[in-house]
Structure 1
Amino acid sequence: MPSKTGFTSVWSREAPAKRTREQPSLSREQIVRAAMELLDTEGMDALSMRKLGARLGSGATSIYWHVANKEELLELVLDEVYGQARIPDPAVTGWRDAAAAFAYGLRSAILEHPWSVTLIGAMPSLGPNALAVGTTLMNAFELAGFTGMTLEYASASLLSYTLGATMPEVSWLNTVGRSSADAEEWMKAIRPQLRVAAADYPKLLARYEDYERIDFSRARHLAFDFGLISILDGLEARLRQT
């Protein structure tokens, strides 16, 4: 039965009983894997129970044995994305390395599954992977010395930076393509228009001209590194102040 909020989580439902003769042979893992493959190749708009059933060679009824609706299926695939953002034990690596591993891991997972940006923050992350990652991240900041609400603020700051830096990157890649050659081709096509549009801003135009010599893939990584290190340095400075 739906909750008062209209949202019911797949993680709050009882797991399917042991397979019986009436139960479809498809497993939850098979369904989630096929759904992610469909999302990776065709995007969020292409996902439907009917299309997923066809991809699995099964009817939608087989899928409904494991999930009540599309929203529950999206919860499952989102938790798989969080599962790729693995964090080492902060007691072993130190809090900064653990926090950085989370940021790099989540960025990598989002870039691999760009459709996930529409889900993060849009629905509660109640799956085992999300909860495990969140707990380890909180442990890292607790080890650093954050307490009370500052523990929440530190974790939220890191997550906000990671998402804020990665989401425009996903949009850029979706526009220009995912190879360096694609990016160079796009910049080559837009360059004459930039010169016209930025004619009254010579300093800005000079910066655009510099971009011609940039390896875009490397530049994106370095930009993320710069921001991440700045965030962690800022959090460390905040600890010293308090």
Structure 2
Amino acid sequence: MYRTRVTVEYPGKGDPARSLALLWRTSERASRKGKPELSVERIVRAAIEVADAEGLQALSMRRVAERLGVGTMSLYTYVPGKPELFDVMLDTVYGETARPEDVPGGWRGRLEQIARENRALYLRHPWLLQVAASRPVLGPNVTAKYDYELRAVDGIGLTDVEMDAVITLITGFVHGTARGAVEAAQIESQTGLTDEQWWAAHAPFFARIADTERWPVATRVGQAAGEAMNSAYSPEHAFEFGLQRVLDGIQALVERRVT
């Protein structure tokens, strides 16, 4: 697994007209010189594979061309450039989330399903955690995803602005906990130690310096959490516990609206 860099990538840096035309396929037409084995879909899929395997820092038109076994200039017949390609990559992966219509548990069950789908998406494509979310790409998959997620809370007593805020709250929470899960996986590959091995190596030294009188609460709680999760940090526990608390807060808001 590649190591996530701190840098942030920003969508929408390409030419707006070209990006939107590519996203919505309004002018997908290769020239006569275009290679018949290439298409926008193949190029985008190859770019996603590069990002999945090597991270966004490795993504370039040349690297995508290498993966496809063609010359770099061949790609420009189908894709204007890397910024526009990046926008379509984002829209494509956001189209992967499942959107079932019959989800048990009412609005709460629907939001939980949305949270789990978004988390799974980040874990499949960790490079998404490097993408600024303040300006979403205006593609068909992003639009369909947003519409589906809003419908999870439509008609439960919230205003339109509150509906948007609830989805932002859920996806923001998932983004944070997914980052923790990815980092937890990467630290094992980078250090060569599992959490259990790390604790086993550090426990004897920590026992010597731990001061229960000076830090009684931290000692007690840290020990209890470590024993319960067998780790200093459990991304799964953070997600499961936090998701229910977020839903509790939304439920309190909904109940105030209907009473």
| TM-score, normalising length: structure 1 | 0.82
Cα shift readout 1:31-73 (whole Å, capped 9, x = no counterpart) = 1221121111111111111111111111122222232221222
Q: CA deviation at 1:175?
A: 2.0
Please report the RMSD computed on the Cα atoms of aligned residues, expressed in angstroms: 3.0
Report if the CA contact (8 A) 1:90-1:140 is conserved: no
Aligned residue in 1 for 2:196: 184
Q: CA deviation at 1:132?
A: 0.7
Aligned residue in 2 for 1:203: 217
Cα shift readout 1:151-171 (whole Å, capped 9, x = no counterpart) = 222221112211122223322
- State the secondary structure of the residue aligned to 2:155: helix
Q: CA deviation at 1:15?
A: 2.9
Aligned residue in 1 for 2:123: 111
Of the three residues 148, 155, 172, the one matched with 1:136 is: 148
| TM-score, normalising length: structure 2 | 0.77
Q: How many residues align?
A: 235
Q: CA deviation at 1:176?
A: 2.4
- State the secondary structure of the residue aligned to 1:84: coil
**Superposition pairs of residues 26-37 of structure 1, within 5 angstroms:** 26-37=38-49
CA distance in 2, matches of 1:43, 1:6: 19
Q: Tell whether 2:69 aligns with 1:57.
A: yes
CA distance in 2, matches of 1:132, 1:80: 12
Report if the CA contact (8 A) 2:180-2:235 is conserved: no
Bigger helix share: 1
CA distance in 1, matches of 2:248, 2:234: 21
Q: CA deviation at 1:202?
A: 4.3
Q: Which runs of 5+ in 1 are unaligned?
A: none
Aligned residue in 2 for 1:79: 91
Aligned residue in 2 for 1:21: 32
Q: Which runs of 5+ in 2 are unaligned?
A: 1-11
CA distance in 2, matches of 1:126, 1:166: 24
* Alpha-carbon distance change, 167 to 219 in structure 1, aligned in 2, over 3 angstroms: closer
Aligned residue in 2 for 1:46: 58
Q: CA deviation at 1:8?
A: 2.8
